[in-house]
């Protein structure tokens, strides 16, 4: 208990004669905060964008498994109308966000970029 009381008294004594921060000190603090924000905001934004794409891909994979299980369980062949009916029955709000193409469910908001061929160096 005495220890915290002594710290409080020393703290008050050290700042008793202080008149506050100078303009230069305030500007230095603001500059440092601006640098930190300039670094942090773009990295957080790119992390959030990547997370949205990853979630979309995981949802597409899960929908694909559900749809294929539905086809097998009911002994059906794929048609576009059947996929739309399946999506409306299982998802209420995002039926237009996914499509079934070449045997897989794909997100229409975040399409996969399959334009690069193996062995080619992408243009930078």
Confirm whether 10 is domain-assigned: no
89 is a domain residue: yes
Does any domain span residue 75? yes
Question: Does residue 56 sit within a domain?
Answer: yes
pTM for this prediction: 0.58
CA distance linking residue 83 with residue 18, whole number of Å: 72
Domain around 83: 41-113
Structure tokens given for 1:
């208990």
State how many domains the chain has.
1
Whole-angstrom distance, CA of residue 60 vs CA of residue 38: 34
Q: Domain for residue 62, yes or no?
A: yes
Task: Tell me whether residue 95 is in a domain.
Answer: yes
Q: pLDDT tens per residue, the chain (124 residues)? A: 556 667 777 777 766 666 777 899 999 999 999 999 999 999 999 999 999 889 888 988 888 898 899 999 999 998 888 888 888 888 766 667 888 888 888 888 877 765 445 556 555 4
Strand partners, 104: 101
If residue 41 lies in a helix (H) or strand (E), which one and from where to where? helix 23-73
Evaluate whether 108 touches 99 at the Cβ level (below 8 Å). yes
């Amino acid at each position: 208990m005495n220890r915290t009381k002594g710290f409080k008294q020393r703290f008050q004594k050290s700042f008793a004669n202080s008149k506050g921060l100078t303009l230069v000190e305030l500007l230095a603090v603001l500059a440092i905060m601006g640098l930190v924000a300039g670094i942090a905001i773009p990295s957080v934004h790119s992390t959030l964008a990547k997370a949205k794409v990853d979630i979309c891909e995981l949802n597409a994979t899960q929908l694909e498994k559900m749809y294929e299980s539905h086809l097998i369980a009911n002994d059906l062949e794929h048609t576009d109308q059947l996929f739309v009916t399946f999506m409306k029955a299982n998802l209420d709000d995002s039926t237009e966000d996914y499509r079934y193409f070449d045997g897989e469910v794909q997100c229409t908001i975040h399409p996969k970029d399959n334009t690069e061929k193996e062995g080619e160096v992408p243009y930078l």
